[in-house]
């Protein structure tokens, strides 16, 4: 039975991590053979048992031993191919609090309850778990440790972690790192409306990021600055011509979003993920009069920004080949969790087109460049502030940064990054010396495209990244 999955790659400290998320959809065979709570079979975030692999992916879903064995085999095979695995975890809620097994044993203990006696539903997906209660916290900590110990999971992406208290998250990180120090933790730190059952507890939200130093958050600050606010789909972003977002992009490039993030190690930088429109669709929606060429330039400029920014870059699979989600009526699909393969699938045959190939190779080159230059991967604000200088006196909306060589193991003598979102070419003065252009409007990689000095012209709606030649 075909089960669609969604795949994502993130880069962290030069390593690639694969995330695989299910998209269970309704088919006659699926409805006949598998039973899910609720009427919406498109909803995948309906946790019932946090410690059991999803059976529909196994060769024998009714045999628990097969589920476990094949899950472990899958992880090992990925590891054997130098691919790390991040697990999407949904400890913030259960599908139905009244039916959840722990609440059957101790009624109401596992869940938060509103003043009127109903169960809290801050996630809008079910009923919130009461992570602030000691045994619920222990359950979550033990569960994450189990997946790390038994399945050798390399990282955990927490769905709507803003519903989980900071004390729980800190204990999760501490306990797992005792035996697995390289496991990474990050999630969605949005502020949610939940009925916390004890006073004095902070939730794991972006504004509370300093309270969970070992945990990273998706930077919706950068996402919305790049392409426009996610919930206002006709609003432009920095890459598509908005005139008031350069300062926001600047702060995010330095790994210090001014409204919550103070250190790059906590910033997941991205332009698109499984939620909402694809990057290309969002750009196209907000700039209907622009040419396809300009849409591609906006797409590539977005990638160049988050791939060179301080923090942890996150890439949705398909973005590198201009993935789009269009339904049978020709409309862009924003929330495609229950859409068919015709909408959600990655159209691999697009790579037969040179235009799509060029974008693919551009992304590939950006990844290679980032991995080759350690100065793009600083982990604390002190190093950023001491080694990255923002350039002044540029054309409106143009940004440029000089990054010192030698920092964090960087082998070059320096890096110079320029972003030009304008529809006109811009000229930027370079620091002294000869500079190799490794990224421009059309190409990206580790090899020099040309060598320049004095000043450089940057094409409209494009990035340029230069590396100082060794003396």
Same-domain check for residues 124 and 269: yes
Clarify whether residues 259 and 228 are in a common domain: yes
Residue at a domain's end among 343, 375, 407: 375
Residue 201 in any domain: the answer is: yes
Q: What is the predicted pLDDT for the residue at 161?
A: 97
Looking at residue 47, its pLDDT comes to 77
Residues 15 and 104 placed together within one structural domain of the fold: yes
Structure confidence at residue 10 (pLDDT): 55
Contact 146, 73 (CB under 8 A): no
pTM of the predicted protein model = 0.89
Residue 296's closest CA among 446, 460, 465, 437? Answer: 460
Distance CA 113, CA 107 (A): 11
- The Cα 34–Cα 48 span in angstroms is 14
331 DSSP assignment: P
Find the distance separating the first CA and the last CA of the chain, reported in whole Å. 60
What is the predicted pLDDT for the residue at 337?
84
On whether both 171 and 73 belong to a single domain, the answer is: yes
Sheet holding 462-468, edge to edge: 388-390, 399-404, 414-420, 462-468, 435-439, 450-452
Q: Is 177 helix (H, G, I), strand (E, B) or coil?
A: helix
Look at residue 248 and tell me if it is in a domain: yes
Does residue 437 lie within any of the structural domains? yes
In a domain, 317, yes or no: yes
Nearest one of 124, 213, 119 to 160, comparing CA atoms: 124
On whether both 325 and 407 belong to a single domain, the answer is: no
- Check whether residue 282 and residue 156 sit in a common domain: yes
- Phi then psi dihedrals of residue 341, to 5 deg: -60, -30
**Are residues 256 and 294 both part of a single domain?**
yes
Q: What is the pLDDT along the chain (471 residues), one digit of tens a residue?
A: 334 455 555 555 556 655 554 443 333 433 333 333 333 333 456 777 899 898 888 999 899 999 999 999 999 999 999 999 999 999 999 988 998 888 888 988 999 999 999 999 999 889 999 999 999 999 999 999 999 999 999 999 999 999 999 999 999 999 999 999 999 999 999 999 999 877 889 999 999 999 999 999 999 999 999 999 999 999 999 999 999 999 999 999 999 987 799 899 999 999 999 989 999 999 999 999 999 999 999 999 999 999 999 999 999 999 999 999 999 999 999 989 889 999 999 999 999 999 999 999 999 999 999 999 999 999 999 999 999 999 999 999 999 999 999 999 999 999 999 999 999 999 999 999 999 999 999 999 999 999 999 999 999 999 999 999 877
Instruction: State how beta strands 267-269 and 216-218 pair.
Output: parallel
Range of the domain at 51: 4-375
Residue 380 located in a structural domain: no
Site of tokens 């252009």:
437
Last residue of a domain, one of 322, 346, 375: 375
Same domain assignment for residues 100 and 166: yes
Same domain flag for 368 and 426: no
Query: Measured between alpha carbons, how far is residue 123 from residues 38, 160, 170, 233, 254 in Å?
Result: 16, 7, 21, 23, 31
Which of 353, 375, 397 marks a domain boundary?
375
* Domain assignment of residue 382, yes or no: no
Task: Let me know if residue 426 belongs to a domain.
Answer: yes
Give the Cα separation of 134 and 421 in Å (integer).
50
Cβ neighbours for 157, distance < 8 A, ≥ 6 positions apart: 19, 86, 87, 88, 89, 186, 187
pLDDT at residue 20 in the model: 52
pLDDT, residue 8, reads 52
* One domain, residues 344 and 412: no
CATH code: domain of residue 26: 3.20.20.80
Q: Say if 74 falls within a structural domain.
A: yes
Instruction: List residues with catalytic annotation.
Output: 159, 188
CATH number of the domain within which 405 lies: 2.60.40.1180
220 and 285 in a single domain? The answer is yes
For residues 155 and 280, state if they share a domain: yes
- Residue 182's closest CA among 321, 84, 113? 84
Count of domains in the chain?
A: 2
């Amino acid at each position: 039975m075909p089960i669609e999955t969604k795949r994502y790659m993130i880069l962290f400290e030069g390593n690639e991590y694969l995330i695989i998320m299910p998209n269970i959809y309704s088919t006659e065979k699926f409805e006949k053979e598998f039973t899910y709570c609720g009427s919406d079979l498109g909803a995948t975030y309906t946790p019932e048992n946090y410690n059991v692999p999803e059976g529909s992916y196994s060769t024998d879903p009714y045999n628990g031993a097969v589920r476990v064995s094949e899950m472990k085999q899958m992880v090992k095979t990925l590891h054997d191919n130098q691919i790390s695995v991040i697990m999407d975890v949904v400890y913030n809620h259960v599908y139905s609090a009244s039916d959840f097994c722990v609440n059957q044993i101790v009624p109401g203990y596992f869940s938060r309850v509103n003043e009127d006696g109903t169960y809290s539903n801050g996630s809008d997906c079910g009923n919130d778990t009461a992570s602030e209660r000691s045994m619920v916290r222990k359950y979550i900590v033990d569960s994450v440790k189990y997946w790390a110990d038994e399945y050798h999971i390399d990282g955990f992406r927490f769905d709507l972690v803003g519903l989980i208290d900071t004390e729980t998250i800190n204990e999760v990180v501490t306990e797992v790192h005792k035996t697995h120090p390289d496991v990474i933790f990050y999630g969605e730190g949005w502020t949610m409306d939940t009925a916390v059952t004890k006073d004095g507890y902070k939730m794991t939200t972006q504004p509370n990021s300093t309270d969970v130093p070992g945990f990273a958050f998706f930077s919706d600050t950068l996402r919305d600055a790049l392409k426009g606010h996610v919930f206002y789909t006709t609003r432009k972003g920095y890459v598509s011509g908005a005139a008031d977002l350069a300062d926001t992009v600047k702060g995010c490039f330095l790994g210090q979003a001014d409204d919550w993030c103070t250190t790059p190690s906590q910033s997941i930088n991205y332009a698109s993920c499984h939620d909402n429109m694809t990057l290309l669709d969002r750009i196209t929606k907000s700039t209907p009069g622009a040419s396809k060429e300009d849409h591609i330039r906006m797409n590539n400029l977005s990638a160049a920004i988050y791939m060179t920014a301080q923090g942890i870059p996150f890439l949705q699979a398909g973005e590198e080949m201009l993935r789009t989600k269009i339904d049978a009526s020709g409309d862009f699909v924003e929330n495609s969790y229950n859409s068919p393969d015709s909408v959600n699938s990655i159209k691999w045959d697009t790579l037969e087109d040179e235009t799509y190939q060029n974008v693919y190779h551009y992304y590939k080159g950006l990844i290679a460049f980032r991995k080759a230059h350690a100065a793009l991967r600083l982990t604390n604000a002190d190093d950023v502030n001491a080694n990255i200088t923002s350039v002044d006196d540029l054309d409106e909306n143009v940004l440029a940064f000089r990054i010192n060589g030698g920092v964090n193991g960087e082998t070059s003598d320096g890096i110079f990054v320029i972003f030009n979102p304008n529809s006109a070419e811009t000229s930027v003065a370079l620091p002294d010396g000869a500079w190799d252009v490794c990224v421009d409007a059309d190409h990206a990689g580790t090899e020099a495209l040309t060598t320049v000095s004095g000043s450089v012209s940057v094409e409209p709606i494009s990035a340029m990244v230069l590396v100082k030649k060794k003396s």
